[in-house]
Amino acid sequence: MSNESNPNPTTLVETTRGMTFYAAKFDESTFAASHAHCINDSKMIAAGSEPGVESAGFVTFKEIMAPDGRLGRQYWWVCADCFERLREEMEWRVGTELPTSPTSDFSSARRPHERSQVEREKLANEFPYGLVGWAPEEVVAIANSRGLQISKQTACELLIHNERKIEGAMTKAGYDLILQLLQNARR
Q: What is the pTM assigned to this prediction? A: 0.52
- For residue 146, the 8-state DSSP code is T
Q: Is 148 helix (H, G, I), strand (E, B) or coil?
A: coil
At 112-139, the pLDDT tens digits run 445 556 655 655 555 555 555 677 777 8
Instruction: Give the model confidence (pLDDT) of 39-90 as tens digits.
Output: 999 899 999 878 889 999 999 987 766 555 566 778 889 999 999 999 999 9
Q: Is 73 helix (H, G, I), strand (E, B) or coil?
A: strand
Phi, psi of 135 (to 5 degrees): -95, 150
The residue type found at 144 is N
DSSP string, 94-107: E-SSPPPPS-SS--
